[in-house]
């Protein structure tokens, strides 16, 4: 699917979902019916981003998707001084929702880290008791080798919880 076909699919799909005629959408976004027809039929190589933004707002579409389908590359966002200039309301709502969900992931991540930290403290106390028994020459099956092995396991657990949060769950737009 080339750019114009992808753009046509997005706009016509959004227009159909809202039950707008081509004339109605053109009126709502402030362009002529023939201009919208040209955009939908791929006769405009790269529609004006401002027009695409108005279409995205009216049809509740992602401006980023429309810009990409129209042939604008993602580098365009880097040249904008306003990081939200090339975002539609839908894009911003999606970003807000991703951030909201990430907040809960962080809270859950922190709760799990605290549980692991408490378990590690408990395990280290058990190792400490075992080492005291060895030091006092008390009868025990616990050996220095076993203590070192247990300490290595706890170090691995500590490495897992040492990260601030799970970077794989970061929202894409922040």
Query: What is the DSSP code (8-state) at residue 163?
Result: S
Find the mean pLDDT for residues 117-139: 86
Residue-wise pLDDT tens digits, 92-120: 788 778 777 777 777 777 777 778 888 88
pTM over 0.85: no
What letters, b where the CB count within 10 A reaches 16 and e where it falls short, cover 79-91?
Answer: eeeeeeebbbebb
């Amino acid at each position: 699917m080339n750019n114009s076909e992808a753009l046509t699919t997005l706009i016509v799909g959004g227009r159909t979902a809202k039950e707008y005629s081509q004339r109605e959408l053109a009126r709502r976004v402030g362009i002529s019916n023939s201009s919208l027809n040209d955009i939908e039929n791929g006769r405009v190589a790269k529609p004006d981003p401002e027009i695409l933004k108005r279409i995205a707002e009216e049809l509740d579409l992602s401006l980023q998707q429309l810009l990409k389908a129209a042939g604008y590359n993602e580098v365009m966002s880097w040249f904008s001084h306003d990081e939200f200039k090339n975002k539609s309301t839908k894009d911003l709502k999606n970003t807000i929702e991703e951030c909201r969900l990430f907040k809960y992931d962080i809270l859950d991540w922190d709760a799990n880290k605290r549980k692991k930290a408490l378990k590690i403290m408990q395990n280290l106390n058990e190792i400490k008791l075992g080492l005291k028994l060895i030091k006092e020459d008390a009868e025990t099956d616990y050996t220095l080798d076993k203590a070192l092995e247990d300490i290595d396991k706890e170090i691995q657990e500590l490495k897992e919880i040492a990260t601030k949060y799970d970077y794989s769950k970061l929202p894409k737009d922040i």
